Amino acid sequence: MKRCWAEIDLAALERNLGCIRAALPAHIHYVTVVKADAYGHGLQQTATRLMQSGAELYAVANVEEARQIREMGAGWPILILGALLPEEIPSLADYDLIATVSSPAEVEAIHTLGQQRNRRQPIHLKIDTGMGRLGIWWENAGPLIRLIQSMPYLNLAGVFTHFSSADTDPQYTREQRDRFVGVLRNLPDLDLTNLLIHADNSAGIETFEEDLPFNAVRVGLLQFGILPYPDSLLARVRIEPVFSFHARVGLVKTVPPGASISYGRTFQTDKATTLAILTAGYGDGIPVSLSNRGSVLIQGHHCPILGRVTMDQTIVDVSALNEVKVGEQATLIGNQNNSSITTSEFAEQAGTIPYEILTSITKRVTRIYKTSREL
Ligand SMILES: *Cc1c(COP(=O)(O)O)cnc(C)c1O
């Protein structure tokens, strides 16, 4: 045991991927989203396992993340979701990557690269159906698709869009789907058979409909065992947590009533209180916003966080426990006995979203991988 560590259960990741695929029609392709170091789970350690578990295409944010995957294996298809800077364009050919394009300027720059290298450069066209981030605005998509079709050194391999509110607003998501499908329907000479057509992220899968032209999903959070929202239909899919986060008790002591706890004196004891000082703080990824909020599990009990979370240490109230020993395990996210704190609960207490929690666990935290496969 370390001072502070995260456990990543690769067998659970594999089972989750299997469950998600089983919940979708068999012809649906699986794009595994592994941006930001696979949502903090470690790209190196998860990427191979995801491919072995049935993922077909990696999606990453940028060229650097794509390069890390390419070094692990030639041939695996990699889609870059983010916009490319002009100087990054040659990497598409160097590392055999698929670019996301949103504008005529990007299309032309990538076509020029294809011409220079004498190869058909694969691209996915992104259509903005109401996210207001990347993508060509849906009402302007037709001419851009025709431009792409006229360019011999480009290979239009996919068309996609992204939902802004799939977790909160099914009606708006429906509207986004309809806009996207409308664009494709208005281009009768567009051959859909060899195109990857995708929209759904984890939350989108909730409203996935088989009769629409979609033939792929792009899944990030859900494969890591986190439901997009608590009453998710996906709860019926047996998704398991992949990630847990732990520290240890470094010191136990009892202070009298009226003692001030931590920087800024935001907490004063009103009775004799037994404190456990944990060996992790915001320098490990415990948000300062959990100061005087939330709890950690020790011996399966919820022990409240007292005072401000500090860089290397966090103070919790263990007065309710009989005896706590130095070195005992404290679980910030995960299960202990029959109690649990999920990543979503931890995020909610901290006033943020699970995505931010996972990508904010710092380098100091050792990742321990459970790799055993169920035979
Ligand atoms: C991050 C991302 C996803 C994955 O979203 P999840 O909610 O984690 O499933 C899908 N598509 C795009 C464009 C993304 O940026």
Residue 199, SS3?
strand
Q: Decide if 338 is inside a domain.
A: yes
CATH number for 254? 2.40.37.10
The response to whether residue 220 sits with its C-beta less than 6 Å from ligand 1 reads yes
pLDDT tens column, 40-83: 999 999 999 999 999 999 999 999 999 999 999 888 999 999 99
Q: Is residue 81 part of a domain?
A: yes
Question: Are residues 178 and 276 part of one domain?
Answer: no
Closest CA to 251 of 38, 1, 83, 3: 3
Residue 279 alpha carbon to ligand 1 centre in Å: 33
Q: Is the CB of 219 under 6 A from ligand 1?
A: yes
- Give, in order, the Cα–Cα distances in Å from 290 to each of 7, 281, 282, 297, 308: 21, 10, 10, 14, 8
| Top-confidence residue, 227 or 303 | 303
The verdict on the CB of residue 57 being under 6 Å from ligand 1 is no
The answer to whether residue 238 is domain-embedded is: no
Average pLDDT of the residues in 93-119: 98
Give the distance (Å) from ligand 1 centre to CA of residue 341. 24
| Helix 63-72 with 43-52: angle, nearest 10 deg | 60
Candidate from 65, 81, 176 with most ligand 1 atoms within 8 A of CB, to mutate: 81
What percent of the chain lies above the pLDDT cut of 90? 90
Ligand 1 atom at minimum distance from 223 CA: 9
Q: pLDDT at position 188, please? A: 85
Q: Are residues 44 and 166 in the same domain?
A: yes
Q: What is the mean pLDDT of residues 137-157?
A: 97
Which tokens go with 232? 């998710």
Q: How far is CA 229 from CA 48, 115, 200, 235, in A?
A: 28, 46, 15, 9
Assess contact for 78 and 47: CB atoms under 8 A: no
Query: Residue 237: inside a domain, yes or no?
Result: no
Ligand 1 center to 357 CA (angstroms) = 16
- Ligand 1 closest atom vs CA 219: 9
In order, the DSSP letters of 319-335 are TTSS---TT-EEEEEEE
For residue 4, what is the enclosing H or E element? strand 4-9
Question: Which of 197, 224, 251 is at the close of a domain?
Answer: 224
* Ligand 1 contact, 50 CB (< 6 A): no
Query: For the domain that residue 212 is a member of, what is the CATH number?
Result: 3.20.20.10
Q: CB–CB of 331/286 below 8 Å? A: no
Tell me which H or E stretch contains 58: strand 57-60
- Determine the distance separating the centroid of ligand 1 and the alpha carbon of 219, expressed in angstroms: 6
201 in contact with ligand 1, CB cutoff 6 A: yes
Same domain as 167, residue 262: no
The Cα 272–Cα 251 span in angstroms is 16
Q: What is the per-residue pLDDT across 337-374, written as a single tens digit (0 to 9) for each?
A: 999 999 999 999 999 999 999 999 999 999 999 987 55
Q: Is residue 108 part of a domain?
A: yes
pLDDT at 375 over 50: no
Same domain, 52 and 189: yes
Same domain, 32 and 105: yes
Q: What is the pLDDT of residues 209-265, one digit of tens each?
A: 888 899 999 999 999 999 877 767 666 678 999 999 999 999 999 999 999 999 999
- Domain check: are 190 and 263 in the same one? no
Mutate to test the pocket of ligand 1, among 208, 218, 221, 239 (most ligand atoms within 8 A of CB): 218
304, β-bridge pairs: 295
Question: Which atom of ligand 1 lies at the shortest distance from residue 160's CA?
Answer: 13
| Better pLDDT: 7 or 227 | 7
Q: Is the CB of 218 under 6 A from ligand 1?
A: yes
Q: Are residues 177 and 46 in the same domain?
A: yes
Segments forming the whole domain that contains residue 43: 10-224
Overall domain count for the chain: 2
Q: Are residues 200 and 332 in the same domain?
A: no
The set of catalytic residues is: 35, 263
For residues 256-283, give the mean pLDDT: 98
- Is ligand 1 within 6 A of the CB of residue 81? yes
pLDDT of residue 233: 67
Cβ atoms of residues 126 and 162 within 8 Å: yes
Q: Is residue 294 a part of any domain in this protein? A: yes
Burial of 198 (0-12, 13-18, 19+ CB in 10 A): buried
- Please give the backbone phi and psi of residue 166, each rounded to the nearest 5 degrees, phi first: -60, -25
Minimal-distance CA residue to ligand 1 atom 3: 201
pLDDT above 70 coverage of the chain, percent? 98
Q: How far is the CA of 53 from the centre of ligand 1 (A)?
A: 19
Report yes or no on 61 lying in a domain: yes
Residue 276 Cβ inside 6 Å of ligand 1? The answer reads no
Rounded to the nearest angstrom, the distance between the alpha carbon of 175 and the centre of ligand 1 is: 19
Q: Are residues 148 and 249 in the same domain?
A: no
Tell me whether residue 231 is in a domain. no
Q: Which of 33, 81, 214 to mutate to test the pocket of ligand 1 (most atoms within 8 A of CB)?
A: 33
Amino acid 137: pLDDT: 98
* pLDDT for position 229: 76
CA atoms within 13 A on the CB side of 335: 6
Q: Which atom of ligand 1 is nearest to the CA of 355?
A: 8
218 lies in the same domain as 251: no
Assess whether 14 and 110 both reside in one domain.
Answer: yes
Please report the atom of ligand 1 found closest to the CA of residue 203. Answer: 7
In this structure, are 195 and 48 located in the same domain? yes
Residue 257: burial class (beta carbons within 10 Å; 0-12, 13-18, 19+): exposed
**342 CA distance to ligand 1 centroid (A)?**
20
> Which of residues 375 and 172 earns the better pLDDT score?
172
